[in-house]
Structure formats: C-alpha cells, structure tokens
Structure 1
Amino acid sequence: MSFVSEFRDFAIKGNVIDLAVGVIIGAAFGRIVDSLVGDVIMPVIGRIIGGLDFSNYYLPLAGQPFGLPLAEAKKGGAVLAYGSFITAGVSFLILAFIIFMMVQQINRLKRKAPAPTPEVAEEVKLLREIRDSLRR
C-alpha cells in the first residue's frame, strides 16, 4: 500500500472527518460565546461596578497616565490588562458550562433503559419448582 493511498484511507475515515467538523463548529461557537460575553454580559457587569467598559480595565506598567483607552495605553508601553483577562475567563467558564451540559445530555441519551424482564409463565415457575425439589 502506497503512502498516498494509506493517507487517503486515514483522512476519509469517519473519526477524522468528525474531528474536523467538531473543530470548525467549536471555533464558530467560541466566537458566539465571545460575543455574548463581550457584548452582552461584560457591559452589564461593567455598568454595575462603575459604568466603564470592563475590557479597558488595566494597570499601566510603563508610566502611562490612567484613563487612556487600552489600545492607546498599550502603544505607550506595557500594561497589565486584567479586564481583558477577566473577560476571557468568563468566556471560558460559559463555554465550559455549555459543553458540560451538551455532554451530559448526550450521555443521558446514550444510556439505554434497562430491558424489561419478561414475565415468566406460571407453568415455567411450577416446572422450576419441581426441578428444584427433585434435585434435593
């Protein structure tokens, strides 16, 4: 078997294609969650804690004046952008929770209900009792 045909067989297998589809959907879903966190959740939290854009919270490390937008402060030198880090953390927690819920539901659907035990006829029960009594 040649290298090319072996690689083709590997690439066409279902697991590789499923993985590729999962990565693509995961990336798109990640962007949706980032938008949810950055555009919906964090502005509400920022409003509650002071009315500022939470992603612009930073500590200047190179002597920049306070109050500049984060992009301008980064041009002036190093900054500790803890607001961006917190936003990314919230985004991760939401994404992890949603994935956990999806896996939980998939596992619940995969669980099979225990097969009902068939009702044993009275004749079979009687025959079993006779068999057990004859063994004694």
Structure 2
Amino acid sequence: MEIVVNAEEMTGFLQEVFPQVDGMFGIDRLDEDLLVMRLFSHDRHLRPGGTVSGPAMFSLADVAAYVATMARIGREALAVTTHCSIDFMRKPVSGADVLAEARILKLGKALSVTDVLLFSEGQSEPVAHASLTYSLPPKR
C-alpha cells in the first residue's frame, strides 16, 4: 500500500494533534511493507520492578497502528481505535526502548486492521503482540 505521508510529516502531524505524547515516540522506518516505531525508555513508563508497563506498551501499539494507517490514507485526526487485543508474552528488558513493528493487514473505506509486534530493542523474541482496528472517517 502506497505511503502518502512520510515519517517526517507524520512526526509533525503527531506533534500537532497529540502534543501530549511529544517526545515519547520515534519513527525508525516507514515504508509500504512496515512501520517501525519506538517508545523511548523513560522512568515514567516503568512499573514497580523496573519494567515497561502494560499501558505504555499499549500506547506504543495504538500509536503505531494509527501512524501506519495515517501514512496510507493521509492526515485524518478523527480516525479512532474501535478494537484492540494485546497479549503480553514476556518481560521487556529494563532500560531498553520498546520497538513496534506494525503491518497493515487490511485497509478498507471504513476500517483499517493492523498487526503489531513489540520487542525490547536488541532482542529477537517479541514482548507483546497486538491486533488493532481503526474506524476511518467517511470521505467528504
């Protein structure tokens, strides 16, 4: 699926529509096949025991699905998550950034379905798997 908004434009768009997450995420790769997005490791994302919290990993998966979708349909701030299922499979590496690999499985007129695998940077085994569906605003 063709990319219509590049990584730099997408970063600016996120800063504009979601200023509350500015500086939390970075885009490492954005092309027709894959989005790789990172959650920058920070103390505010840790739970007791020093591991990245589930809500922080959910946020990464959700933003990655949003970015992967927006990169293909254009700037549509009113697209919303309608479904998310996430499995936490192993403990993330303490202090490491968490990376999301997001792939669009289906992009239709009304819905976008995205598969997201989360990894601790430098590790080959995923720490979580998420499936997300976004409802897309109707074209005017």
Q: Same fold judged by TM-score > 0.5?
A: no
Of structures 1 and 2, the one with the larger relative CO (CA 8 A, separation 6+) is 2
Work out which of the two has the higher radius of gyration on C-alpha atoms and give 1 or 2: 1
Range into which the TM-score falls when normalised by the shorter chain: under 0.3
TM-score for both structures, normalised by structure 1: 0.28
TM-score for both structures, normalised by structure 2: 0.27
